[in-house]
Amino acid sequence: MKKKLHILFLCGWYPSSVLPQNGDFIMRHAEAVSRKHRVSVLHIISKPGVSKTEIEMIKEGDLATYIAYIPPSFNPIIKLIRFWNAYKNILKKIGSFDLVHLNKLYPFGGFALHLKKIKQLPYIISEHWTGYHLKAQKSLPWAERVLSKIITKNASFICPVSTDLKNSMLKSGLKGSYEIIPNVVDTHLFKPAKKTTKKFTITHISNLQDQHKNISGMLRVAKQLESSIPSFQWNFIGGKKDPYNRLIEELNFKKNTIHFMDQLSHKKIPKQLTESDVFVLFSNYENLPCVILEAFACGIPVISTDVGGIQEFFPNDFGFLIEKNNENQLVEKILEIHHNPITKSNSMHKYANTNFSSEKICESFSELYLKALN
């Protein structure tokens, strides 16, 4: 596709000064699309301490990001008016565009519907929300259920990151034309490198929320491993140690290192992965976590629970899928990798490059943009 389009990325989630990591996978989709097209990102978020709406604009190459910070309000009417005014102000700054790419269908899908009705602009939806797996649709507010159905019905395409998420959305009554487009990996940044440490290293990267990522389960597994692996380090990256201090004290680690690191910039993650022998994700639910794909791109084997859409993009010989909450299975598979390391870094990187690179994801979206416009 030769024609360069101007795409409006309407984003319910996006990294900002309020939530720096929120929706960083959406930002990476926007960066991928901007390789071929002009992209303008529109995001609005309440920010404590601002007395009037402030609009921040950042431009890098063909990617322009507009974030409106609005004064917080508990009054839903006032909040709605502030969001609406910020939306209109950003649209004026952006000018004309060819197509809308909505990220997370509710609530910003209301804006996508408005643009379709007023300007006859088609829109596609990228969806990442794990909530479709968790919530019976009945527990969502009535207005959200009704509006979500109207938003999906009017979309040219709905692009969940996995078939599993598509099925959860269909169960919620969200009908439409579905095309699976996975998360993106910067395969120029995430690539194999020689490990410099001798110590057996296990790494986990997430927001470290126990209910979702089962950190306490991994800590108990680390304690079990003490009797089998004489020296290892387990890195927990992306949050604070504090919620787990009591459990760590109870487990009373004698010789191995449990290392907690706060959030790291995206550019520092490859170094953490390539210094690892295995990446572990022990989640209770997921869609398609970027970090598994990034581990593959770095040539690092993965042990993950078989939840959400993970198994759809998980070649058999790149690691192991285990049952949710099965700590004994996790111990067993870590020991298996400790005794018989998986060394397939080149084929792992090649797989990531073929399926999740910026070029590949940009091409997939470009095809849908063209179809939506025609």
* Residue 217 φ then ψ, to 5°: -60, -40
- What pLDDT score was predicted for residue 199? 94
For residue 274, the SS3 value is helix
- What pLDDT score was predicted for residue 294? 97
Q: Identify which of 39, 91, 140 has the alpha carbon closest to the alpha carbon of residue 361.
A: 39
- What pLDDT score was predicted for residue 175? 95
- Per DSSP, the residues of 249-316 read HHHT--SSEEEEE----GGGHHHHHHT-SEEEE--SS-S--HHHHHHHHTT--EEEE--TTGGGG--G
- What pLDDT score was predicted for residue 257? 87
Reported as a single tens digit per residue, the pLDDT across 209-253 is 999 999 999 999 999 999 999 899 999 999 999 999 999 999 999
Name the CA dihedral angle for 247, 249, 252, 257, rounded to a multiple of 10 degrees.
90
The partner residues of 10 in beta bridges, in order of sequence, read 42, 102
Distance CA 147, CA 143 (A): 6
Q: For the chain, list the domains and their CATH numbers.
A: 6-184+358-373 (3.40.50.2000), 200-355 (3.40.50.2000)
- What pLDDT score was predicted for residue 133? 65
- What pLDDT score was predicted for residue 135? 57
| DSSP 8-state symbol, 186 | -
| DSSP 8-state symbol, 74 | S
For residue 268, what are its two tokens? 């520092």
Total length of the chain = 374
The structure tokens 């296990």 sit at 202
- Name the helix (H) or strand (E) containing 281: strand 278-281
Spans of the chain, pLDDT less than 70: 1-2, 133-139
For residue 369, what are its two tokens? 């943009």
The structure tokens 């090649």 sit at 350
